[in-house]
Amino acid sequence: MNIKVKQQKIDEELFLRMHHKVLEEWPTGKEVDLEEAVEYNRNLPDSKNFMKATLKQKAEGKTTIWPRAGTPVLEEEIALVKTLVASGIRHVPVTIDSYTRNYQFEKAGRALEESIRSGKAVLNGYPIVNHGVKNTRKVIESVDAAFSPRGAVKLAMEIALASGMTAAGKSAFLEFGSYEKNRTLEDCCEHTQYTNRLAGYYTERGAVITTDLHGFVPSGVFPLSMNIACMVVDALMAAEQGVRSVIPLVHYNGNMAQDLAWTRVTPKILRKYLDRHGYVSTLIPGTFCNQIPLFPVPQSMGGCFGYLGYTAMVAALGEATTIYVRTIDEGAGVPTREAHAVSYEAANWICNVVRKQNIQFDLAGVEEEELITEMEVDAILDKVFELGDGDCIAGSIKAVEAGVIDSPFCPNKHVKDEVLGIKDAQGACRYLHFGNLPFNNEIKDFHRQKVAERERLEKRRMDYDVVIEDFWAFSKGKIIGS
């Protein structure tokens, strides 16, 4: 196959031409004046700059909450971000609705009007393109915190950054592996190169924009090495376009040793690859952790609080910069403002008392998990660079085709979906089906032994049905399915 997208910085002229076409996608594009926007963004206080706020917080030894939240009506959105900041949040996401994510700005506009009329949100996020720069600046100016758009397409990102958001959390792998069915990875890379280049443009002019890395987000129980390997590619792509601040998002999966190991090893691995490829000036200001993809059964309020409390505790012990805890409404629907407040209050309570004690916590098994994770990541990336003759984009595209990059329960039809993860007896994630992953026998045997151990204990074969049981187990307070 011939791959057009290359790991190569878009030259400025070309970029500016693309930029002006993007602004024509919707009337509100006119509100963006790039030079004025950069100026506005550069002059924001440090507390509103995602990288500076994160570095400051890391230095203070705090763990705060990083939620997901977005609601269609402007006044509601302002009230929402105020609630979030009041509950101790310093990094405010603006989750964008699904129509906007799919370029259906007109449909989003109609749903927005209906939401205003009916007083009931019929959109699942904030339609940033319809709101435009003027309105969105009102949101950002309403509180003292750093903003990040969630799920921004090109124009959405233009409006977000012009409005004073200081993070450009767009990941080729997240789109490809989590949100898309038909689009190719190449297409997703091409889009992300643009938003990264935009972030680089701001950055080079003194308005540092942070890109958060997602990688290939596991759907359900799956070791994190695949996700981390793809985060590395996300990071390299961003750095090449001039991004100087990247933040990994680490996905917990319930096993404390693994969650802590992944929290520690991810920035280490990222640093290794960024340096190796010459992006030494690209910083990793913090590590953000996520309570996902497991989630509480809506019915059990105690379970919701238990789950988010446990997650906050692990994050605090692991010295995560932020933790994305799911609200008590997670399983029920878009959380109410009250659900946000009480959930983060509980999580904050725990993060505060733990971090303030600056606890030195040594957990058996963490080193081993770090080791095996790094081995797996290296194995995947070696193959990726080999397939791409040194180009991480070409390599990734071929790797997906070859099943070297693969993930279970994936929405995208281009993904092989021939791999499966499962829990071992301690509740740690292991590979059950390796599909075409480029692992040596040492790695494979490690996983096979762990799975075999559980088979012995439970006297049953570990198969797809168990995978599904495991999928639901943790959110119900069990470390493995049964």
Partner 1 sequence: MANKPTIITGTVGNDAHVIGTKILSRAFKDAGFNVVALGCLTPPDEFIKVAQETNADAILMSSLYGMAEIDLRGFKDKCREAGLDNVLLYIGGILGVARHDFKEDEVKFKKLGFDRVYPPEANLKGAIEDLKSDLKKKGRMN
Could you tell me the smallest distance in angstroms from the CB atom of residue 470 to ligand B12?
Answer: 12
Instruction: Single out the segment in contact with partner 1 by CB under 8 A; choices: 34-42, 121-129, 139-147, 422-430.
Output: 121-129
User: Which CB sits closer to ligand B12, 127 or 293?
Assistant: 293
Could you tell me the smallest distance in angstroms from the CB atom of residue 124 to ligand B12?
Answer: 4
Could you tell me the smallest distance in angstroms from the CB atom of residue 214 to ligand B12?
Answer: 9
Could you tell me the smallest distance in angstroms from the CB atom of residue 162 to ligand B12?
Answer: 22
Choose the contact partner of 477 out of a second copy, ligand B12, partner 1, none; CB within 5 to 8 A by kind. Answer: a second copy
Could you tell me the smallest distance in angstroms from the CB atom of residue 333 to ligand B12?
Answer: 3
CA distance 187 to 84: 35
CB neighbours of 6 closer than 8 A, spacing ≥ 6? 391, 393, 394
CB atoms within 10 A of CB 127: 27
333 binds partner 1 (CB under 8 A): yes
Fill in the per-residue mask, 264 to 303: x = in contact with partner 1 (CB under 8 A), - = not in contact.
---------------------------------xx-----
333 binds ligand B12 (CB under 6 A): yes
**Helix, strand or coil for residue 233?**
helix
Could you tell me the smallest distance in angstroms from the CB atom of residue 435 to ligand B12?
Answer: 18
Name which position in 67, 149, 200, 220 contacts partner 1 (CB under 8 A): 220
Instruction: Single out the segment in contact with a second copy by CB under 8 A; choices: 147-155, 209-217, 238-246, 342-350.
Output: 342-350
Could you tell me the smallest distance in angstroms from the CB atom of residue 332 to ligand B12?
Answer: 7
Q: Please report which helix (H) or strand (E) contains residue 185, including its range.
A: helix 185-204
Q: What is the CA radius of gyration of the chain?
A: 21
Name which position in 18, 332, 425, 479 contacts partner 1 (CB under 8 A): 332
127 binds partner 1 (CB under 8 A): no
CB neighbours of 449 closer than 8 A, spacing ≥ 6? none
192 binds ligand B12 (CB under 6 A): no
Name the nearest CA neighbour of 477 among 290, 304, 291: 304
Burial class (CB in 10 A: 0-12, 13-18, 19+), 21: exposed
Query: Which residue matches tokens 């933040």?
Result: 247
Could you tell me the smallest distance in angstroms from the CB atom of residue 76 to partner 1?
Answer: 12
SS3 string of 15-66? HHHHHHHHHCCCHHHHHCCHHHHHHHHHCCCHHHCHHHHHHHHHHHCCCEEC
**Range list of β-strands (E), 125-283:** 146-150, 211-213, 246-252
User: Which CB sits closer to partner 1, 366 or 415?
Assistant: 415
CB atoms within 10 A of CB 11: 9
Structure tokens at 266: 């991810």
The answer to whether the CB of 190 falls within 8 A of the CB of 200 is no
Q: Please report which helix (H) or strand (E) contains residue 67, including its range.
A: none
Could you tell me the smallest distance in angstroms from the CB atom of residue 339 to a second copy?
Answer: 11
User: Which CB sits closer to a second copy, 288 or 307?
Assistant: 307
Name which position in 409, 416, 433, 477 contacts partner 1 (CB under 8 A): 409
79 binds partner 1 (CB under 8 A): no
474 binds a second copy (CB under 8 A): yes
The four Cα atoms 325, 329, 335, 341 give a dihedral, to 10 degrees, of: -60
* Phi, psi at 326, each rounded to 5°: -80, 140
CA distance 1 to 112: 42
Choose the contact partner of 181 out of a second copy, partner 1, ligand B12, none; CB within 5 to 8 A by kind. Answer: partner 1
Binding to ligand B12 in span 57-96, by CB under 6 A = 68, 95
357 binds a second copy (CB under 8 A): yes
Name which position in 27, 206, 306, 333 contacts a second copy (CB under 8 A): 306
Could you tell me the smallest distance in angstroms from the CB atom of residue 332 to partner 1?
Answer: 4
Instruction: Single out the segment in contact with a second copy by CB under 8 A; choices: 196-204, 276-284, 429-437, 474-482.
Output: 474-482
CB neighbours of 125 closer than 8 A, spacing ≥ 6? 70, 71, 72, 94, 95, 96, 97, 98, 100, 101, 150, 151
Choose the contact partner of 482 out of a second copy, partner 1, ligand B12, none; CB within 5 to 8 A by kind. Answer: none
CA distance 287 to 234: 15
User: Contacts with a second copy: how many residues (CB under 8 A)?
Assistant: 45
By CB under 6 A, name the binding residues for ligand B12. 68, 95, 98, 101, 124-125, 178-179, 219, 293, 295, 329-331, 333-335, 411
By CB under 8 A, name the binding residues for a second copy. 87, 254-257, 300-303, 305-307, 309-310, 312-313, 341-350, 352-354, 356-365, 426-427, 474, 477-479
